[in-house]
C-alpha cells in the first residue's frame, strides 16, 4: 500500500515546486480559513511545549515511583487525569511520554530524511550499477511491512529509546529514497541545471545549489507526514513490548499496561490513548495543509 501511494505521488513532484505566497504557512491557513489545520497546529505546539517543559512540570521520580496507596485514583483536582495501577500521576506520565515519543519520532525522521534524501538524490542524479543496486535494495525493503523491518532491528539491537529510533529510521529510509529519486532525475534535465553544468559547475554544486532547493518544500511536507507515521509505529512497537523498558513512560507501553483496566477504570487508557490520537491526527492534518501550501494548483485554484 505504501509503495502504491508513493508511486501515485511521484508524477506530481517531477517539477520544482512554485514559490510559496508571502506571509508564510500560518497566514495561508488564515487566508484559506483552514481552522481545523490551525487547531491541529496549536495542539502540536502545545504538546511540544509541554514535552520540552516536562522536567520542570513533573519530577521524574513522581512519574516512575511506585506508590500503591495512590493507585487508581479517579481524575480530581489533585490528579487531573487520575493515577495508574501503580499510583503514578497519569498527567505527568503522559507529558513525559510525549517527550520520549516525540524525541523518537523527530530523531527517526531526521535520520531517515538526511540519509534517504541523500541516497535518493544520488540515485536520481547518477546512473549505473551502484545506483541501480541501491534502488533494488530499497524495493526489497519496501516489500516488507515497516513494522516488521523495525522489529528485526530492535531484536538485534535490544530494547531502548535509541534502538527504537534507529529501527523506525531504517524502516523509513526506503520511502525517502523512492520518493525523491524521481524528481531529482527530472530536475537534472532542466535548462537551469544544464546551463550551470555548461559553465563548469560540478555535480555536488548542482545537487546542493540547484536541485535540492527545488525539492525542499517536498521534503518538509513528507517529513511532517512521516512524523505521524513514526509516532504510530513507535507506539505500536512499545505496545508489543519492543520499546523502552519499564518504568519509562511511553504512550504505547502505557496503553498496553492499561488494557486489563479498561472496563473498570477506562481513564487509565483514555489518557495516553487520547494523547496518541490527537498528536497523530494533528500531524496528518498539518501535513495535508502543508501539501496544499506548496502546491501551486491548490493556491491558484483547481
What's the 3-state SS for 43-71?
Answer: HHHHHHHHHHCHHHHCCHHHHHCCCHHHC
pLDDT of residue 95: 94
Handedness of CA 247, 248, 249, 250 (dihedral sign): negative
What is the tens place of the pLDDT at every residue in 24-67? 888 889 988 889 999 999 999 999 999 999 999 998 888 888 88
Over pLDDT 90: what percentage of the chain? 43
Contact 207, 121 (CB under 8 A): yes
Average pLDDT estimate for 69-96: 91
Set out the domains of the chain in order of their start, with CATH numbers.
32-60+75-300 (1.10.3720.10)
- 120 vs 218: CA distance, rounded Å: 13
Average pLDDT estimate for 173-191: 89
* Residue environment code for 229-238, b if the CB has 16+ CB neighbours within 10 A, otherwise e: bbbbbbbbbb
Average pLDDT estimate for 103-111: 95
What is the tens place of the pLDDT at every residue in 210-237? 888 888 888 888 899 899 999 999 999 9
- 161 vs 166: CA distance, rounded Å: 9
What is the tens place of the pLDDT at every residue in 108-147? 999 999 999 999 999 988 888 998 999 999 999 888 888 8
Three-class DSSP category at 90 = helix
- 110 vs 169: CA distance, rounded Å: 8
- 291 vs 226: CA distance, rounded Å: 13
Check residues 192 and 76 and name the one with the higher pLDDT: 76
Average pLDDT estimate for 9-18: 42
Three-class DSSP category at 32 = coil
Q: Please list, in sequence order, all residues whose beta carbon lies within 8 angstroms of the beta carbon of residue 22, skipping any fewer than 6 positions away.
A: none
Nearest 5°: the CA angle 67, 101, 62 is: 20
Three-class DSSP category at 269 = helix
Quickly state the pLDDT bin for 293 (edges 50, 70, 90).
confident
Quickly state the pLDDT bin for 15 (edges 50, 70, 90).
very low
Quickly state the pLDDT bin for 245 (edges 50, 70, 90).
confident
Give start and end residues of each alpha helix (H) in 53-160: 54-57, 60-64, 90-125, 129-142, 146-157
Half-sphere exposure of residue 192: CA atoms within 13 angstroms, side-chain side:
11
Complete DSSP assignment for 189-220: TSHHHHHHHHTT--HHHHIIIIIHHHTHHHHH
pTM here is 0.84
Three-class DSSP category at 89 = strand
pLDDT averaged over every residue in the chain: 85
Average pLDDT estimate for 16-21: 45
pLDDT of residue 297: 57
Q: What is the DSSP letter of 83?
A: B
Amino acid at each position: 500500500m505504501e509503495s502504491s501511494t508513493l508511486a501515485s505521488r511521484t508524477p506530481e513532484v517531477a517539477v520544482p515546486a512554485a514559490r510559496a505566497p508571502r506571509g508564510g504557512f500560518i497566514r495561508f491557513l488564515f487566508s484559506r480559513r483552514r481552522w481545523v489545520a490551525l487547531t491541529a497546529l496549536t495542539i502540536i505546539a502545545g504538546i511540544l511545549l509541554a514535552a520540552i517543559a516536562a522536567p520542570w512540570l513533573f519530577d521524574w521520580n513522581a512519574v516512575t515511583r511506585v506508590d500503591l496507596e495512590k493507585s487508581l485514583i479517579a481524575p480530581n483536582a489533585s490528579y487531573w487525569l487520575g493515577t495508574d495501577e501503580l499510583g503514578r500521576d497519569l498527567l505527568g506520565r503522559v507529558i513525559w511520554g510525549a517527550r520520549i515519543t516525540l524525541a523518537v519520532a523527530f530523531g527517526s525522521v531526521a535520520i531517515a530524511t538526511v540519509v534517504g534524501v541523500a541516497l535518493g538524490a544520488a540515485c536520481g542524479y547518477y546512473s549505473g550499477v551502484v545506483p541501480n543496486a541501491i534502488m533494488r535494495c530499497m524495493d526489497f525493503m519496501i516489500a516488507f511491512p515497516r513494522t516488521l523491518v523495525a522489529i528485526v532491528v530492535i531484536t538485534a539491537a535490544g530494547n531502548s529509546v535509541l534502538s527504537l529510533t534507529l529501527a523506525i529510521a531504517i524502516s523509513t529510509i526506503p520511502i525517502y529514497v523512492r520518493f525523491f529519486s524521481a524528481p531529482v532525475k527530472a530536475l537534472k534535465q532542466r535548462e537551469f541545471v544544464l546551463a550551470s553544468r555548461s559553465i563548469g559547475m560540478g555535480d555536488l554544486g548542482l545537487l546542493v545549489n540547484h536541485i535540492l532547493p527545488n525539492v525542499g518544500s517536498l521534503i518538509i511536507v513528507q517529513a511532517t507526514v512521516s512524523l505521524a507515521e513514526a509516532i504510530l509505529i513507535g507506539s505500536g512497537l512499545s505496545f508489543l513490548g519492543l520499546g523502552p523498558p519499564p518504568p519509562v513512560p511511553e504512550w504505547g507501553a502505557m496503553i498496553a499496561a492499561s488494557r486489563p483496566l479498561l472496563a473498570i477504570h477506562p481513564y487509565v487508557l483514555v489518557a495516553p490513548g487520547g494523547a496518541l490520537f490527537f498528536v497523530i491526527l494533528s500531524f496528518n492534518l498539518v501535513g495535508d495543509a502543508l501539501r496544499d501550501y506548496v502546491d501551486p494548483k491548490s493556491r491558484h485554484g483547481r
